[in-house]
Structure 1
Amino acid sequence: MKTKAEYLKQLNAIKWEKGKEIESFLIPAINIEAEAKQSEINLGDSKFGGKPDLPKNVEWPKSQNEPMTFLAQLNLKQVSEFDIDKTLPDVGMLYFFIANPSEFNLEHKIVYSTENDLTETPFPAELNEDCRFRDFKMKFDTIYTFPSVETLEIETLSKNDVASYYEIEEDFFTYENNQILGHAYPMQGDVKMEWAFEHLGIEFSSDGLETNQEKIDSIRNEFINLFQFSTENSIPEFFDNFYISSMGYFGIKDKDLKERNFDNTVLIFQNS
């Protein structure tokens, strides 16, 4: 992984009109690798899939009276050393559940708990076999991310700087990786804009954008990339069982994250 100094050296090799502003776009994130070799996964470890290690007082979430699909759990103590700006809580667990993946439903549930009494929770009997994923231990690393050309930040630049921005080599950007925080890497346009649509309950469309542009732009930069995952690089069954190749993005407004209000998250999917 490149260091921040290496990124800045590459960035500053370009002559910018707003060089310092562009430097400020470079922000840290936490890369997540799903370990290919099945090393031992202990109770409470960060992982994709498998059975969640829930506190005894937390019930398996449901959607329309059917059990949701368990996607991942993050042990925030394990994540903390890679969280350079200390944006996340440094203790506790985050559990990510989604509605039936085959329907591309955006309904989801994020559970945050600081309870220490955890137990591996068996799959509910009613849960579809295709939604019972294998578990993969997570490995973390600090990376630095830069916004893609579709984002609001780039719209603030001069024409010359935008032209130079398009000349930056592709390896400068993060691609279809699993990630916490940092700039979300979009597959189909600005992720923050779609989070704003979802948060406001507006159907994502060009007409919706034209009618609500000011409202959307006023909140889209309030969102934080809580958790970004590639269906191909996290849980193989997403593709094997549902033929879904896409990126999922959980967003949360800065205020809600500070208040630990994970009920106010939004989820979107993009595919190429």
Structure 2
Amino acid sequence: MEKVEIIKLIENTKAVNGQKIISLLLPSLKFSLDEPAAIKQSRSQIGGAPRIFDQHYPSLHDVPLIFLAQISLDDIHYLNGLLPKSGLLCFFILLNDIGNRYPDQKNEFKVVFVNSTIQGNVNGKSEEIPAFSISFVEQYTFPCYQENLIVKNNISDEDLFLMESLEMELQSASALTDIGHQILGHPNAVQGTVRFWWAAKYLGIDHIDAITQEQMDRINREEDQFVLLLQLDFSDPKIGIEHFGDSVAYFGIHEEDLAKENFDNVILVMQNT
């Protein structure tokens, strides 16, 4: 559904905060996984082997991270104005047993930006997930109910209900439902907010149970400055990694780092029901 059509739907509701609701719309690229296949060089994919040089393959304590996804920015350059226009984004994660928490600490996951699209030799455990090509669908998104944008814009419960109804209609139109897989736009949070946790981790604020007002203010200032690089829903049976159950991975990057093409400070937040 085009943005002009969504705006018309909102305006037809005569909602008091209609213009504020419209201002919250962000375009995203939702995607589904096609049937397993040999992926052409330098194309978007989930699983398989990354098309990168040996020196890019990340590991932790000599244990290679598992390759999750490769996004070809050439595939989507005409649909976004935030990411680099060409090259590859490659996503990796640790699958080793690290106790009762997710691999979301520094060096337990990695996002690698590869300017070149020339295929190189690949070393490491790269075939944990079968290779699936990706089909993108452009879809507009709203922030989740606990995001700071909701508070800052004085969005009421009635407005939230309208936004949820519109999102259901958008999902129905695109045939994509539930949390799903996504690039850009507002993250579809399992637990109400993702941006808060991105900002807290970025600022090094770990003790959320004892958070001060000053720390909360810092988080609120930063959380809207993050861009969703990849949302990957492990409940999709095609991915087939039982290690994460029905969890969803949210890779986010601060706008300042993205402008510098610095992917070393990417934050990973994982949530489940």
- Structure 2 residue aligned with 1:18: 17
Distance of 1:260 and 1:5 partners within structure 2: 32
Q: Distance in 2 between matches of 1:209 and 1:238?
A: 38
CA shift in 2, pair 1:96/1:227, >3 Å: same
- The amino acid that maps onto 2:22 is E
Find the counterpart in structure 2 of residue 139 from structure 1. 135
How do 1:1-272 and structure 2 match up within 5 A?
2-35=1-34, 37-55=35-53, 58-83=55-80, 86-100=81-95, 102-103=97-98, 104-106=102-104, 107-119=108-120, 121-122=122-123, 124=124, 127=125, 132-158=128-154, 161-168=155-162, 169=165, 171-172=168-169, 175-203=178-206, 205-208=208-211, 212-233=215-236, 235-239=238-242, 242=243, 244-272=245-273
Q: In structure 1, what residue type is equivalent to 2:224?
A: N
Superimposed CA distance per residue, residues 38-73 of structure 1 (whole angstroms, 9 cap, x where no aligned partner): 3441122110011111135x3421113211111101
Q: 1:189 to 1:207 in 2, by over 3 A?
A: farther
Classify the secondary structure of the residue corresponding to 2:133.
strand
Q: 1:24 to 1:166 in 2, by over 3 A?
A: closer
State the distance in 1 between where 2:193 and 2:146 align.
Answer: 5
Partners of 1:225 and 1:181 in 2: how far apart? Answer: 5
Aligned identity (percent) is 27
Contact conserved, 2:20 with 2:153, CA < 8 A, in 1? no
Question: Counterpart amino acid of 1:193?
Answer: F
**Residue aligned with 1:31, SS:** strand
> In structure 1, the residue corresponding to 2:86 is in which secondary structure?
coil
User: Structure 2: 5+ residue runs without aligned partners?
Assistant: 172-177
| 2:161 match: secondary structure | coil
Match of 2:174 in 1: none
Q: Distance in 2 between matches of 1:188 and 1:89?
A: 30
What TM-score comes out, normalization by structure 1 length? 0.86
Residue pair 1:43, 1:119 contacting (<8 A) in 2 also: no
Change (3 A) 1:18 1:28: same
Q: Which moved more, 1:86-95 or 1:111-120?
A: 111-120
Structure 2 length-normalised TM = 0.86
Report SS of the residue matched to 2:149: helix
Name stretches of at least 5 consecutive residues in structure 1 with no aligned partner: none
Question: Higher mean Cα deviation, 21-30 or 196-205?
Answer: 196-205
- Name the amino acid aligned to 1:121: V
